[in-house]
Amino acid sequence: MGFKNSQISIFTLLGVVMLVTACSQAPNALDNDPLELVNRKTHELNKFVDSNFISPTSVGYSALVPDPLENSLSNFSGNLSLPGKVVNNILQFDLKAAGQNLSRFIVNSSIGLLGIFDPANRIGLYENSSDFGQTLHRWGFNEGAYIELPLFGASNFRDGVGRFVDMTLLDPSSYVLKEPVTTYRSVAGVGALLQARQIYGDQIDAVLYESADSYAQNKLIYLQRRRFQLKDEANEVYIDPYSE
Amino acid sequence: MNDHFNFRRLFVSGLIATLVAGPALAISKGRAIKLVESLIGEISLMLNSVKTETELTSTFERIVVKYADMNVISRSTLGPRARSASESELRTFKKAFQRYFARKYSKQFLNFSGSQIILKDTQDRGKFFEVGASIIVDGSSNIDVNFRVSDRSGEPRFFDIILEGISLLASERVEIGALLDNSQGDIGLLSKNIEELG
């Protein structure tokens, strides 16, 4: 991402502060939202950015750019994020997943022509999703308070810290890559985002623009999805309507 | 001698427990699975037979009324306000909510038309059974759908559907809660308003 050393240390410091805050949070239900007032403002900003820029651009992008090119850009961007996933797999002591992601990276970077094709999928080497938020979860950290990040959207303290650490410290590609590849990577990353916005368009629109309280609905869905993804059964949402 | 006696008592009480509790639990679990099997069957039939959107919605509403505990679901979406609501308010709201629910979720099934649903394991969660199912989309990515089934209404009915970890009941509680606030807590007005939504 091209951060300078001084910026990295600021992020690291911020990360440590957030981590300490996150640790001190009690195990959470769905109402751990002390920052709700600020979060709601950020939510309005994010909706403004989405409805004015991201959503219309994604419609134009998918209309103008042929599907195979869209896929290639998303593949290229996704492939370069794999080394970071391998690092997290290792930090989670999940060597099987690390091996799978590493093999996938090697196959797609070589036979897949620098990652623009995805032959690994065809031989069952699927991506094993991981991030530093997940690593923190495996290490026993709680979610902490809900937080809606500007531009990045729904998160919690733990996963917010995870995001910063993933972007600044745990991304081997950013240490190795040089211009102009870093620029290609950024462009492909924007393409991947626009393609995803288009693919999940109906679901995103339903939550953001068709629900009575899009902030609350978005938060609810994020927290449940994330817990499901992390297999965080202790924090599973469980409503018993018969005992109300 | 004492050991022998205790063993026999243990055996007898175990036998009684099996006779009393065992079959009862087995029947509930079996009935929970059967309910979901037959629900999935009716939904597949619906997707293969209906032609118009109105037909889809009305067929789905009939299925929902048959398989879901709409009394407890609709009541739960009102939150604490339900406690001070009159019987007739709850009845009117339930009818409006059923139609809203059918309009809103029947459309979602269209995305899965043609895909296969398989049943997975069923868990005993104490007060209810969670019947697991999976929608087979294209081999690599399946969608997990769990049905929470209880017979506390008198017969087995589902009261929540968990789609990829997301509780439909939780979502509707947030949605209806916000709409109820917009109607200043007036359930009659809320019932009228949701007729235009979904």
Where along chain A do its domains lie? Answer: 6-230
Q: Quick one: pLDDT band at residue A19, thresholds 50, 70, 90?
A: low
Residue A147 β-bridge partners: A155
Which of the four pLDDT bands, split at 50, 70 and 90, describes residue B45?
confident
- Owner of token pair 């009102």: B78
Distance (Å, whole) CA A159 – CA A89: 16
- Region B78-86: what's the mean pLDDT? 93
Q: What is the pLDDT of residues A60-87, one digit of tens each?
A: 999 999 999 999 999 999 999 999 999 9
Range of the domain at B90: 26-194
Average pLDDT estimate for A156-175: 92
Which pLDDT band holds residue B50 (cuts at 50, 70, 90)?
confident
Residue A235, pLDDT > 60, answer: yes
In this structure, the number of other CB atoms found within 10 A of the CB of residue A203 comes to 12
- What CATH number should be reported for the domain holding residue B164? 3.10.450.710
When scoring A227, A239, A243 by the number of chain B Cβ atoms within 10 A, the one with the most, hence best to mutate, is A239
> What is the mean predicted confidence (pLDDT) over A127-149?
94
- Tell me if B171 and A217 make a contact (CB, 8 A cut-off): yes
Residue B109 counted as domain residue: yes
In a domain, B14, yes or no: no
Q: Which of A121, A211, A241 sits opposite B159 (nearest CB)?
A: A241
Q: From A192, A31, A22, A52, select the one nearest A118 (Cα to Cα).
A: A192
- Number of other CB atoms surrounding residue B27 within 10 Å: 13
Hey, what are A67's tokens? 């599907």
Token representation of residue B113: 């038309």
Considering only CB atoms, which residues of chain B are within 8 Å of chain A? 72-73, 75-76, 82, 127-128, 140, 150, 152, 159-160, 164-167, 169-171, 173-175, 177-179, 182
Which residues in chain A are contacts of B171 at CB distance < 8 A? 217, 220-221
* Structure tokens that stand for A127 in this block: 């991506």
Q: What is the mean pLDDT of residues A94-117?
A: 93
B164 found inside a domain: yes
- What's the mean per-residue pLDDT of chain A? 88
Q: Which amino acid is at A26?
A: A
Read off the tokens for A195.
């393609």
pLDDT-based confidence at residue A106 (cuts at 50, 70, 90): very high
What residues in B contact A227, CB-CB < 8 Å? 165
- What is the C-alpha to C-alpha distance for residues A91 and A173, in angstroms, rounded to an integer? 17
Q: What integer best gives the mean pLDDT of chain B?
A: 85
Is residue B3 included in any domain, yes or no? no
Contact B72 A217 (CB under 8 A): no
Query: Inter-chain contact B178–A224, Cβ cutoff 8 Å?
Result: no
Selected residue with higher pLDDT from A226 and B117: A226
Q: Could you tell me what percentage of chain A is helix, strand and coil, using 3-state DSSP and rounding each to the nearest 5?
A: 70, 5, 30
Alpha carbons A77 and B106: distance in angstroms, whole number: 36
DSSP B132: E
Check: CB of residue B164 under 8 Å from CB of residue A228: yes
For residue A20, which of A226, A158, A162 has the smallest C-alpha distance? A158
Helical spans, DSSP H, in A92-147 = 95-110, 119-122, 132-138
Specify if B98 maps to a domain.
Answer: yes
Question: What's the structural domain count of chain B?
Answer: 1
Q: What pLDDT, on a 0 to 100 scale, did the predictor assign at position A9?
A: 57
CA distance A18 to A95: 28
Query: What average pLDDT score do residues A30-41 get?
Result: 90
The ipTM of this complex is 0.80
What band does A25 get if pLDDT is binned at 50, 70 and 90? very low
